[in-house]
Amino acid sequence: MRKQDRHRLITRLLTEKNIQKQEDFVHYLQEKGVAVTQATISRDIKDMKLIKVPSAEGGYRYSLPLETQANTSA
């Protein structure tokens, strides 16, 4: 899978799931048939400038940066 396609899928996962750890990304992507390592996810998080925000369930979850959220909802 190309990086751009993986980033789109990660963006979709962020809206559908409560992703708290990099391992959560690996798990959900593997469920969708995408072979990915934690190291790749770490690079994707940096490339996409993901942030951690408080989660409703406690702890923190990954989220898109605010400027990206505004662009994807428009």
CB 52 within 8 A of CB 60: yes
CB 40 within 8 A of CB 25: no
Domains of the chain with bracketed CATH: 3-73 (1.10.10.10)
d(Cα 19, Cα 31) in Å, to the nearest integer?
14
Listed in order, strand segments (DSSP E) in the chain are: 51-54, 60-63
Residue 12 tokens read as 């979709």
DSSP state, residue 59: S
CB 25 within 8 A of CB 11: no
Q: Model confidence over 27-52: pLDDT tens digits?
A: 999 999 999 999 999 999 999 999 99
Q: Model confidence over 49-66: pLDDT tens digits?
A: 999 999 988 999 999 997
